[in-house]
Amino acid sequence: MEALLEKSRYVAYVDEDLCIACGTCEERCHFNAITIDETAKVDEDKCFGCGVCVVGCEQGAIRLKAVRPPEHIPP
């Protein structure tokens, strides 16, 4: 059976110097991949690289990084 959701080429990461642990990213993450301690932490195994957390971060503390090759996404 094919997966209903496929991870993107990307995964979110946190710049701990910019993160103020406001919790917006944790609330926005549909995959429960982000937890808040002193800063946000991303569980890369749960992250689908959708970017919803990036768009919602007013501090610019979360970004996406490529972790899979372009061939990961079929034409």
* Domain locations along the chain: 16-68
CA atoms within 13 A on the CB side of 33: 23
pLDDT of residue 23: 96
The pLDDT value given to residue 3: 60
Q: Which residues pair with 8 in a beta bridge?
A: none
pLDDT of residue 1 exceeding 60, the answer is no
Q: Which CATH architecture has domain 16-68?
A: 2-Layer Sandwich (3.30)
23-74 per-position pLDDT tens digit: 999 999 999 999 999 999 999 999 999 999 999 899 999 999 999 888 777 7
The reported pTM is 0.84
